């Protein structure tokens, strides 16, 4: 463990987790079934997130697929004009492709809609173990196409679409960009990836160095077992780092936490995008931990991150 590297706000949370696990008050997620883990994740997010800010409009949606409807949620920020045509950011929540939902990241989506010059649509893609790889990816791709076609005539400019996601959601967002490139659309203007999973199943030094800071090797193995078969880990949709041609992708912001097991692969992916000729910015929040995007009640850097995402995505639409 590298406690001396941790931001003081992050260290407080890590120590709270240690005390709760030692007393038996908190059970590690990898010792739960997926249903209990989802409940625990929602409860943890609720305790670490600030109060939900008001927005001008919030609307629950259903995206029709061939044999299933995906839930989604539309946000328009508090200071926006109700009828103004705005760009849109499609948001994919984190949670290891197993946990998380529209509610775990509701505060983040509200904050982005309020602070950015765009609307937000969050996608409740299907997850493992009920729906294994590549269902989540396929749901994301179909959701982006649905937003592009805008059948509900939401007041959005569907020629200006960004994608954003944290952790597993960052994986889904960037894979969607590669898919759009392969299929010549729909056009995605920008990708904002927050501590993304980019090389599942591969070892990086940060996975040892920061093991147990919210994310652990045991928990990552638990996620993988529920989401994907081992022989699929080489698929670029699970590990976009292995895709053979990363050129001509949307401009990107890649944010990594300095004390995160996923730090090294996030940085490596950003560097690979730059090497392939893309405009990609890598920002490291020193001392921070995996998941801090949704910890704004306890971590001051979360506000800085929300501001950064709002500014960079807004600039991409100008």
Alpha-carbon gap, residue 2 to 4, rounded angstroms = 6
Instruction: Strands of 37-183 (E only): list them.
Output: 57-64, 69-76, 86-92, 119-124, 156-166
How far apart, in Å, do the first and last CA atoms of the chain sit? 43
What pLDDT is attached to residue 170? 98
Query: Which one, of 293, 308, 287, lies nearest residue 12 by Cα?
Result: 287
Alpha-carbon gap, residue 127 to 245, rounded angstroms = 28
Coil vs helix vs strand at 15: helix
Tens digit of each residue's pLDDT, the chain (318 residues): 689 999 999 999 999 999 999 999 999 999 999 999 999 999 999 899 999 999 999 999 999 988 889 999 999 999 999 989 999 999 999 999 999 999 999 999 999 999 999 999 999 999 999 999 999 999 999 999 999 999 889 999 999 999 999 999 999 999 999 999 999 989 999 999 999 999 998 999 999 999 999 999 999 999 999 999 999 999 999 999 999 999 999 999 999 999 999 999 999 999 999 999 999 999 999 999 999 999 999 999 999 999 999 999 999 999
Number of domains in the chain: 1
CATH number of the domain within which 35 lies: 3.40.50.1820
Q: Residue 107 is part of which domain span?
A: 3-316
What pLDDT is attached to residue 1? 61
Q: Token digits for 192?
A: 């904002």
What pLDDT is attached to residue 66? 82
Q: Could you tell me the strand order of the sheet in which 280-285 lies?
A: 57-64, 69-76, 119-124, 86-92, 156-166, 190-194, 251-257, 280-285
CA torsion 147→149→153→154, rounded to 10°? 20
Alpha-carbon gap, residue 200 to 315, rounded angstroms = 31
What pLDDT is attached to residue 235? 98
Residue 60, class by beta-carbon neighbours within 10 Å (0-12 exposed, 13-18 middle, 19+ buried)? exposed
Residue 279: Cβ within 10 Å count:
13
pTM of this prediction?
A: 0.98
- The residues assigned a catalytic role are 167, 260, 290
Alpha-carbon gap, residue 66 to 22, rounded angstroms = 47
User: If residue 223 lies in a helix (H) or strand (E), which one and from where to where?
Assistant: helix 217-227
- How far lies 291's CA from each of 56, 260, 285, in Å? 27, 9, 12
The set of residues, in sequence order, having a beta carbon less than 8 Å from that of 20 and lying 6+ positions away, is 26
């Amino acid at each position: 463990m590298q406690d001396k590297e941790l931001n003081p706000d992050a260290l407080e949370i890590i120590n709270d987790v240690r005390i709760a696990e030692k007393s038996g008050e908190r059970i590690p997620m990898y010792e739960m079934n997926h249903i209990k883990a989802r409940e625990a994740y929602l409860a943890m997010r609720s305790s670490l997130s600030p109060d939900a800010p008001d927005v001008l409009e919030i609307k629950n949606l259903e995206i029709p697929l061939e044999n299933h409807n995906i839930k989604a949620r539309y946000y328009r920020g508090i200071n926006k004009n109700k009828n103004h045509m705005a760009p849109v950011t499609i948001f994919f929540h984190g949670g290891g492709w197993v946990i998380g939902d529209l509610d775990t990241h509701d505060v983040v989506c509200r904050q982005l809609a309020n602070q950015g010059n765009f609307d937000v649509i969050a996608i409740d893609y299907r997850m493992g173990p009920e729906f294994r790889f590549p269902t989540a990816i396929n749901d994301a791709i179909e959701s982006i196409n649905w937003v592009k076609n805008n059948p509900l005539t939401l007041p959005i400019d569907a020629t200006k679409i960004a994608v954003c996601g944290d952790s597993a959601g960052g994986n889904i967002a960037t894979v969607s960009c590669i898919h759009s490139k392969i299929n010549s659309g729909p056009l995605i203007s920008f990708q904002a990836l927050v501590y993304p999973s980019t090389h599942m199943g591969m070892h990086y030094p940060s996975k040892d160095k920061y093991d147990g800071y919210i994310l652990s090797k045991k928990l990552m193995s638990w996620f993988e077992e529920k989401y994907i078969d081992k022989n699929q880990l080489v698929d670029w949709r699970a590990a976009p780092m292995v895709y053979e041609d990363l050129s001509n992708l949307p401009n990107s912001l890649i944010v990594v936490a300095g004390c995160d097991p996923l730090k090294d692969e996030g940085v490596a992916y950003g560097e690979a995008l730059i090497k392939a000729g893309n405009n990609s910015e890598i920002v490291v929040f020193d001392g921070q931990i995996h998941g801090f995007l949704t910890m704004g009640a306890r971590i001051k850097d979360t506000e800085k991150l929300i501001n950064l995402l709002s500014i960079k995505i807004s600039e991409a639409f100008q």
